[in-house]
Structure 1
Amino acid sequence: MNPLTVLSLAAVAACSSAQILGYPGIYGAYPGFYSGLLPQGYKELLPAAAPLPVAQVPLTYSGVAPVSYNALPYAPVAPIQTQHHAQDELGQYSFGYAGGPSSRSETRDAFGVVRGSFNYVDSEGKVQTQHYVADALGFRVSATNLPVAPDAPEAPAPLALPGPLPEPVQDTPEVAAAKVAFKAAFDEAAVAAEAAPDARK
């Protein structure tokens, strides 16, 4: 017979002997199975079990509200957890996992383009999802938790001027005469520069 089986049976017999034989001792005063089977003369020889002291505590109502117990909500069965991984000698790979609100998946092709997505539960209890692509154009991502730019405000209506537009500035007679003199001097210098021999040669 297996030694573990023998030990198990011995432990069961030892634990149940107190219920069958009585406590304390093998034929104690506690009414067990064998205590009623003793002959009349032997019961007086056994020591009498001392009664246990019981404290008498008066029960009073203190006005405390009754305790109510809330049962735990029913826990659904855990979702099936799955994961996968594959790769080859060309540098292509595919891996991912799924289970519950959290999952991830990513692939890479022979051209080096990586595509993937993942989701998780954020601190507010919402499921957030991200999709990303990494290729020759760079890393691009689209997600449910990215900030959104506010709408552009409408262009304001043009302001109405309070009166007519001002007239452009007019030259004074001195400024007009200076402009004519400068133009004549500039033209003379240009003609003289064309007639002069080229000194750079």
Structure 2
Amino acid sequence: MNALTVLSLAAVAACGNARIVGYPGIYGAYAGVYPGILPQAYSGVLPAAAPLAVAHSPLTYSSVAPVTYNALPYAPVAPIQSQYHAQDELGQYSFGYSGGPSSRSETRDAFGVVRGSFNYVDSEGKVQTQHYVADALGFRVSATNLPVAPDAPEAPAPLALPGPLPEPVQDTPEVAAAKVAFKAAFDEAAAAAEAAPDARK
């Protein structure tokens, strides 16, 4: 405890004002305090005949000792960071971290559904946040930086037809005769199938 007190006092003395700690006018390096006595011959006791009047010269900027300070280097404070991770034999897990402007968390349940979110600082200095879900319906995300679709244009007015609709294509005589012959053959085969006994019985 005594060593800590001594170190504290030494640090205060070292960081203090240089005019108080090392000013030479108090202890003999300044000859103007006691006129007529040179600093080298001063023994610490004034002679009885020496006058006690003190002659002070007006202080100027050049006569004042410079002020110096011992500044400690700046150490930035690190952000509080934390992280966690847990899992089990059923395939469930959860993990995440946080610290500074970025963080992430993700969980998976026993049914395989994954949910999570994360955020970060983009190139413009804005904090962007994303939330996502992955399950049987697929991967879905909502975020603060997703692109926004432009407004849908107005539907154009329906086009007016230039004239009447064309007539449907008419069968040629050969196609009409083939259709009639096929219909007659189909009806005859269907009647014969109904009259014949079932061979599978």
**TM range, normalised to the smaller chain?**
0.3 to 0.5
Between 1 and 2, higher relative CO (CA 8 Å, sep ≥ 6) is seen in 2
Normalising by the residue count of structure 2, what TM-score does the alignment of the two structures yield? 0.44
